[in-house]
Structure 1
């Protein structure tokens, strides 16, 4: 990052100004679209000169690329380096909470990146897609392990992973800092819902005292047993 025009070197003031530019740009991109927003618009929203914004970002495309780096690619790095071994239930709870917090920490920025992925260059688009795959892989690995160990129901890990990712991503559209719940509370609630949706123990008990419901649970148990036997052969 270049030195701040308002302070020396990598100063805190310079970092704050850069973040303020990204935040203002995100809000304007959501309101007007990238095509309807100029660098001058961003500068005016912050009470800055256009030159001050140029110091950090020469073009709107540079802002989008930076947002993608900080939102999408950083999530991919988090997934790639985050080791969650042990109990799959606790691993899933921890990872969903972590990923949800990542989205909730910059919801406006996420919305901009999600809506404008096609505007990236081929190189940056490919990097962003690789990051999204890393997040999907992390979800799938935990779910697959939970199914294999008997902690989770017999579910399609890919479908389940996409569902949980969608639940986390959607917070960028509905979460409000002025709401009754804070980010941490929302992330915790989502993590708990994710675990309860997949936990095998909750589903093994018949939901109603009927033969049909008992057969449903029995079929699921048999399907799980067959899968385990196939994996041992």
Structure 2
């Protein structure tokens, strides 16, 4: 990535974050482009170098949060990894994306009704694709014998619900915030919810194994008696 492209990406990220905060505080209709420009620290004419309208900002959110996530899950579904590793990586990918920008996710979730028709169709198509790819990964694990027989679509809804809820409680700027740890734990919980009981004790893949070790260590630390007791 060239320096110019990198600067543009940084500015677009700043615009999305500031706009998401303003939309949440004042509402979409109550926020002007001038408000967004002032929040970023540039003039309104300079703002037009990056975006032309508030609708374009919502479109960027759809692209960055929904469509990119769907594309990543499609790649994981088509990979040659075990189904357990594919599920682990898919959940980590979705969770880390939300942890990076929870305010953007909350805004898009709340603002779907004000998206233009074209953006709304793109957003809904992206959400359907995410569900379809995750369902396919779970169904693949069932057919291979790695996962116990279940309704893959219901399981996918449950797992995605856990991931999406992160946007409402995770704060990237909080002391000790650890996106990787959150992603690892949710991935492990997802895997254990569908893995066959006779195989669940043996996580598949390095990420799953590491997450299992961390979870076990945290459990032991929480239940160790205090020193001197």
Q: Which TM-score tier does this pair reach, normalised by the shorter chain?
A: 0.7 to 0.9
- Distance in 1 between the 2:75 and 2:117 partners? 25
Equivalent position of 2:19 in the other structure: 25
TM-score (norm 2): 0.78
Give the counterpart of 1:153 among 148, 151, 161.
Answer: 148
Once the two structures are superposed, the pairs formed by residues 50-199 of structure 1 within 5 Å of their partners are 50-82=44-76, 83-177=78-172, 178-199=174-195
Equivalent position of 2:207 in the other structure: none
Give structure 1 stretches of 5+ with no counterpart. Answer: 1-7, 205-233
Equivalent position of 2:223 in the other structure: none
Larger RCO (CA within 8 A; separation ≥ 6): 2
Q: Is the 8 A contact 1:153 1:203 kept in 2?
A: no
Q: Is the 8 A contact 2:69 2:93 kept in 1?
A: no
Give structure 2 stretches of 5+ with no counterpart. Answer: 201-229
Query: 1:124-177, CA deviations, whole angstroms, 9 ceiling, x for partnerless residues?
Result: 222222211111111111111222222222221111101111111111111112
| Rg (Cα) greater in structure | 1
Give the aligned length. Answer: 198
- My pick for the range that moved more, 56-65 or 116-125, is 116-125
Moved >4 Å (runs of 4+):
none
Q: Is the 8 A contact 2:62 2:122 kept in 1?
A: no
Equivalent position of 1:208 in the other structure: none
TM-score (norm 1): 0.77
Q: 1:102 to 1:9 in 2, by over 3 A?
A: closer
